Amino acid sequence: MNAPTDATEVFGRNVFSERVMRERLPRETFTALTTTIERGAPLTAEVADVVANAMKDWAIERGATHYTHWFQPLTGGTAEKHDAFISPREDGSIIMEFSGKQLTRGEPDAPSFPSGGLRSTFEARGYTAWDCTSHAFLKKDAAGNVTLCIPTAFCSYTGLALDTKTPLLRSMGAVSKQATRVLHALGHTTTTRVVSTVGPEQEYFLVDKQFYSQRLDLMVTGRTLFGAPPPKGQELEDQYFGAIKDRVSTFMRDLDVELWLMGITSKTKHNEVAPAQYENAPIFATANIAADHNQLIMETMQKVALRHNLVCLLHEKPYAGVNGSGKHNNWSLSTDDGINLLDPGTTPHDNEQFLIFLCALIQSIDKHADILRASAASAGNDLRLGGNEAPPAVVSIFLGEELTQVLMSIAKGEAVAAKNRDVLQIGVDTLPPLPKDNTDRNRTSPFAFTGDKFEFRMVGSSASISDANTVLNTIVAEALDEFATRLERADNINAEAAAIVRDVVERHGRVLFNGNSYAEEWLEEAAGRGLPNIQSTVAALNSVVTPKAVDLFGTRGVLSEQELRSRHEIQLERYAKQINVEAVSAIEMAHKQYVPAIIEYAAKLGQAVQQTAGAGVSTTVQKELLTRVNDLLHSAYSRLQILESELAKAQTVADVRKQAETYRDDVVPAMSDLREDIDRLEMLLPKDRWPVPSYTDMMFKL
Ligand code: ADP
Ligand code: MG
């Protein structure tokens, strides 16, 4: 047993944090850098040189030999290229050097990152630029290598975004600007900046490495392409919040320490709904830092799991039939003078402010439900959304009965029921108290108000949270812009605020739904309300290149039409490639593992029939079983051939969108058909004749 870890002692030890900067930088450098971090003022070359040198000394004292510009290309993951600090001297020796230039700008020289045609049209290469709003940190690997990681944005030379961070930063600027305008119009003039805050809850599965290594599908696609349902799934609900097994809690403890060292506030850990499924959540941070930290959390989970002979599965649906994994993206807006704008507050003024920001969300989610849905689209999430314990593909908002009632009453100019009072005047009266109780809150809604923040539950577990938060910030900025203009022009602010609430409820109230979003009836009702129900990734992605989307992102300066189109293409391509890998793996497993094992077993049964008949007794059972196995084998084999031909056809489609559609419409169903037969065979064959570990092995033997 390791000694318990003192969190206060390890926390942030590997971060070039504000505290370290204050200690190590001359006062004027520190002030200049802080101004850049907070207000985006340009950084001079002198300041950059001083910061770089201090960073290098700090890193070298801690064993670092290399630095890397750490960035998030459009693969959805992260990328790094390591450079040693060494620099040659004339006498043939070296010194350790790190200049301001090396800190602020890098050239990863990596033309093979996806760019959707952007760079080939403009420039051959992209460059990385230091994002000083996210702290530099040290990464240590098991072999003892220490690398200074500098969070960076990745752009083309013409300034086009080639990553997920750049649009997120732009969207944070957009929402800050409009939220500040609204606050000023409401008379709250002390605010100069508003940040979007995010706390992502990360779900994942753990599986024993020995089982994982025997499953080609898990290794190359991250999910099981075959597997009969285990006798016990999650129906007893005994796993959720259950006692954590020792092996898993040892993993979780190591994970916590690794995360704390990097300054990540890992706080909550528990068992999730499905067997062998877990969750980790940090304390919320600014959207940008939360996105960086979430990437590090995913990476660290996978690294630490291996040390325990476990593999961490981040796929949205590793196992059919049980809960998939997502990220609950908790989102709010917070002012630089410390106010959470989605907190209803207690004074009439606070309430008014809250209602305006709440209405901005309602309007923007209804107007851009399709774009928000697209931000959570991936091949993996197609298997999760609408499945067990996951929100449907219809975007709706849960506010709770009380808050919904308040909005409705204001909109209709009625007495507010909760208090038997007269017509509630926004900005003059206080709202009736809203329950902040977590216990009975709606867990089926894709977008739920949870007392002082919203929880967006559609994001897939393997995805970067940047896209979803870029969309949230941008759509809310648009609504706030409209409201700010109205409030700025109004003679009577309170009356205008009430009018805004009325208009929003009238025009966008259809997006509010407090019932069970998992119910079939809801899908019908949603259709009646005209809410989009976009089932597949391929369809969802179309919403990012509509004139509405181009206008939204363009006006806010978040993504140009060209950037949107390139992203669209990259995502369609990624979808097609992912399904292609799945289909190739399924075919390989069928040919090399399943079919031979089944043929062998059928032969064994054939022998058994003969031998048993030779003994002069009845062979009906042996024959019956042989017939069932043989029939399924025939069916499986013909479905395998169909899959092969559908795949071959899909591979030759030239147009990206058509190709993605072909994979979705022809290849995916052919894979499911094959799986159906193979899974039925798995239930008939003896365990020791089945060539791969079963669902029971993977989910229950931990
Ligand atoms: P749950 O019951 O959904 O697990 P928690 O209270 O554990 O909810 O919070 C989930 C996440 O929400 C945490 O990461 C938490 O830090 C985050 N969170 C709390 N307040 C805010 C906020 N104002 N903005 C963004 N995220 C927040
Ligand atoms: Mg939650």
Report the C-alpha gap between 563 and 128 in whole angstroms.
Answer: 17
Q: Could you tell me the distance, in angstroms and rounded to a whole number, from the CA of residue 284 to the centre of ligand 1?
A: 6
Report the C-alpha gap between 220 and 577 in whole angstroms.
Answer: 12
The whole-number pLDDT of residue 124 equals: 45
Report the C-alpha gap between 459 and 315 in whole angstroms.
Answer: 12
What contacts 356, CB < 8 A, 6 or more positions away? 182, 186, 483, 487, 497, 500, 501
Q: Could you tell me the distance, in angstroms and rounded to a whole number, from the CA of residue 450 to the centre of ligand 1?
A: 9
- How would you class 224 by CB atoms within 10 Å of its CB: exposed for 0-12, middle for 13-18, buried for 19 or more? buried
* C-alpha closest to that of 355 among 455, 441, 458, 432: 432
Q: Which CATH architecture is the domain 575-700 placed in?
A: Up-down Bundle (1.20)
> From atom 11 of ligand 1, which residue's Cα is the shortest distance away?
199
Strands 447-449 and 397-398: what pairing? Answer: parallel
The whole-number pLDDT of residue 122 equals: 47
Query: How many C-beta atoms surround the C-beta of residue 423 within 10 A?
Result: 13
487 close to 497: Cβ distance less than 8 angstroms: yes
Phi then psi dihedrals of residue 552, to 5 deg: -55, -55
DSSP 460: B
Atom of ligand 1 nearest to the CA of 199: 14
Amino acid (1-letter code) at residue 226: F
484-490 long-range Cβ contacts below 8 angstroms, 24+ apart = 484/178, 484/181, 484/182, 484/185, 487/182, 487/185, 487/186, 487/356, 488/181, 488/185
Q: Measured between alpha carbons, how far is residue 278 from residues 30, 137, 254, 313, 325 in Å? A: 41, 27, 15, 10, 9
> What is the secondary structure of 131-186 as a DSSP string?
-TTS--EEEE-TT--EEEEEEEEEEETT--B-BSHHHHHHHHHHHHHHHHHHHHHT
138 DSSP β-pair partners? 148
What contacts 227, CB < 8 A, 6 or more positions away? 319, 320, 679, 682, 694, 695, 698
Report the C-alpha gap between 138 and 261 in whole angstroms.
Answer: 9
Report the C-alpha gap between 135 and 262 in whole angstroms.
Answer: 10
522 close to 407: Cβ distance less than 8 angstroms: no
Ligand that lies nearest to the alpha carbon of residue 331, given by its number in the listed order: 1
Amino acid (1-letter code) at residue 615: A
Atom of ligand 1 nearest to the CA of 342: 23
Q: What CATH class is the domain 7-162?
A: alpha beta
Mutate to test the pocket of ligand 1, among 330, 339, 476 (most ligand atoms within 8 A of CB): 330
What contacts 576, CB < 8 A, 6 or more positions away? 650, 656, 659, 660, 663
329 DSSP β-pair partners? 200, 456
Taking ligand 2, which is a single-atom ion, which protein residues have CB atoms under 5 Å away?
328
Ligand that lies nearest to the alpha carbon of residue 269, given by its number in the listed order: 1
Amino acid (1-letter code) at residue 363: Q
Beta carbon of 315 within 6 Å of any ligand 1 atom: no
Report the C-alpha gap between 552 and 100 in whole angstroms.
Answer: 36
Report the C-alpha gap between 292 and 47 in whole angstroms.
Answer: 24
Q: Could you tell me the distance, in angstroms and rounded to a whole number, from the CA of residue 64 to the centre of ligand 2?
A: 37
Q: Could you tell me the distance, in angstroms and rounded to a whole number, from the CA of residue 329 to the centre of ligand 1?
A: 8
Report the C-alpha gap between 377 and 375 in whole angstroms.
Answer: 6
Amino acid (1-letter code) at residue 642: I
* C-alpha closest to that of 322 among 276, 271, 281, 268: 276
Report the C-alpha gap between 25 and 411 in whole angstroms.
Answer: 55
Beta carbon of 362 within 6 Å of any ligand 1 atom: no
Distance of CA 160 to the CA centre of its chain: 23
The whole-number pLDDT of residue 173 equals: 96
Six-digit token pair at 163? 């990553």
Q: Could you tell me the distance, in angstroms and rounded to a whole number, from the CA of residue 328 to the centre of ligand 2?
A: 6
Q: Phi-psi category of 222—alpha, beta or left, where left has phi over 0 and alpha has psi -120 to 50?
A: left
Q: Give the total residue count for the chain.
A: 702
Domain boundaries, the chain: 7-162, 171-559, 575-700
Q: Could you tell me the distance, in angstroms and rounded to a whole number, from the CA of residue 201 to the centre of ligand 2?
A: 7
Q: Could you tell me the distance, in angstroms and rounded to a whole number, from the CA of residue 304 to the centre of ligand 1?
A: 25
Beta carbon of 284 within 6 Å of any ligand 1 atom: yes
Element containing residue 94 per DSSP (H, E): strand 94-96
Atom of ligand 1 nearest to the CA of 198: 25
Report the C-alpha gap between 293 and 261 in whole angstroms.
Answer: 12
- How would you class 109 by CB atoms within 10 Å of its CB: exposed for 0-12, middle for 13-18, buried for 19 or more? exposed
Give average pLDDT by consecutive 10-residue segment, the chain, 702 residues. 77 96 96 90 92 97 96 90 91 93 84 65 71 95 92 89 96 98 96 97 97 98 96 73 85 96 93 92 97 98 97 97 94 96 92 96 98 96 82 91 89 70 78 66 87 95 98 98 98 95 96 91 94 94 97 98 94 96 98 98 97 94 97 98 98 96 98 98 97 96 90
**In CATH, which superfamily holds the domain spanning 171-559?**
Glutamine synthetase/guanido kinase, catalytic domain (3.30.590.10)
> What is the secondary structure of 219-232 as a DSSP string?
HHHSS-S--PPPS-
Atom of ligand 1 nearest to the CA of 331: 25
What contacts 383, CB < 8 A, 6 or more positions away? 223, 316, 317, 320, 324
Distance of CA 187 to the CA centre of its chain: 36
Ligand that lies nearest to the alpha carbon of residue 199, given by its number in the listed order: 1
Report the C-alpha gap between 330 and 315 in whole angstroms.
Answer: 20
Beta carbon of 281 within 6 Å of any ligand 1 atom: yes
